[in-house]
Structure 1
Amino acid sequence: MPEIAALLMIVSGAIHASVNAVLKSGPDKLASRALIDMSGGLLALPAIFFFPAPDGAWGWLLGSFVVHGVYFLALVKAFEVADMSASYPVMRGTAPVFAAMGAVAFLGDALTLPVAIGMGLVTTGIVLSMIGKNLTAPALFWSLLTGIAVATYTVLDAGGVRAAPTTMSYIAWAFFVLGFGIGAAFGAWRGRAFVTYAQTHWKSCATAGAAGVVSYGLAMFAYATGDVPRLAPLRESSILFALVIAVLFLGERPDRYKIVGGVVIFAGVVTLLLSR
């Protein structure tokens, strides 16, 4: 049902913002990312024994693995050099546009006029919310690279979840492969510092890892039944939750552009919910 898929994406976006807040608040963001991913992989491990391997979708999964590695690295770098309220709108604002174009070109998804309008409103609202933020060139680069990576893995995972024998088989194997593979690589990169960091931060990162599994799992369930151009912008409603979190819990100051941007994003979400 289109309505159920849309609801899954909004819930996914809200949870996703919380996961990124944990990452942003951590003193060692690369170690935090490794812990979060490995926790998600550990949670997915039992599931791979209950669902068939994603035969027919291995190519999609391999591509997603490579792009997720780029995404996680770019995300960490962006949060290291900029406030969440500045970098998050850039990375999430560019993602739905590129994802929609990729889904239309490679998956044959439909892009209707109402969906295009709703997508445009969400992206415009996100861009408005970043006005007044002085992003340095490195911060802008890493934020844009994150957005492009998000769009790319969105298309790859949408293709993979549709090509797999069952939705759950792709979801389970994706979290296991991505979580352990990328998490272990980042952990090895940090070396002993990762072990020390894990001893004091494993609880918050494990919680974020579990939330991440739920968040992106819901998104992949939605992509299995709905078109990416309509659904991807709905997940970017996470920017509304991210801005609230940044203000209330990370001590970042709100301004009028964030308020106006939030209103425009909300209008885009409503348009997408009403579109067919």
Structure 2
Amino acid sequence: MFTFPENWSEMTAEEQQQWVIEQAKAKLESETAGLKKSRDTVLAEKKSTAELLKAFKALGKDPEELQEQLQRLDEIENSDLLKKGKVDELVNKQVAKLTAEFEAKLKAATDENETLRSTVKNRESALAKTLVEGGIQEGINNAGLVVRGGALEDVLARGSRVFRFDPESGKAIAMDGEKPLFDKAGEPLSFKAWADQLREAAPHLFDETKKSGTSSPGGGGGPTPPGTVAKGDQKAFGANLDDIAAGKVKVV
């Protein structure tokens, strides 16, 4: 909105027109001043970036050569600091540089260790699961039991809550919390003894007792296919632990 001059009525039509044009131009310049400033800033930054890139290209044709040039510049700067007697500044600079390099290497080593630790943990978990489930099925076979159709998953889950893989001994140990479990003879609870207890506690999980001499898959009734290990073949199981954990060999 314009504020007209007091002598507006005394001005000629041409003077009024010229006054309006000048006011409009002033208002337009005022409103676009910020945009022009932003444009000038962007152009200046673009020019500065282009000059910086040009300077970098002049220092070297490849990353290795550029790194050598930067190293020389750093040495020149250090020499200049020494000449000026700025020893503390030079020491602080070198300490900061070494600290940054050490922290970068430490982070890389930490990340690598975490990855390795995770891989080992996953491998141990896979081995433990395979060993425990294989032992459960072997115990069921040795007890002369037949798992009812569709109940195997439940049986394995129950057994996995009891037996825990011990990395030190390489064996599965029956535990109740932090306390080891024992059979009636005072011996560590075996898979077979546990299977007998499960038959008494949950008979609905099993069919009729197997007939004597009947073998089950993996129970030693015949040769196993290539790439597989029988559940009851502890020797073959131990010899193929790594391949079993990696999924290259299956337990049947």
Name the TM tier (shorter chain): under 0.3
Higher relative contact order (CA 8 A, sep 6+): 1
Larger helix percent: 1
Report the TM-score when normalising by structure 1: 0.21
Larger radius of gyration: 2
Larger strand percent: 2
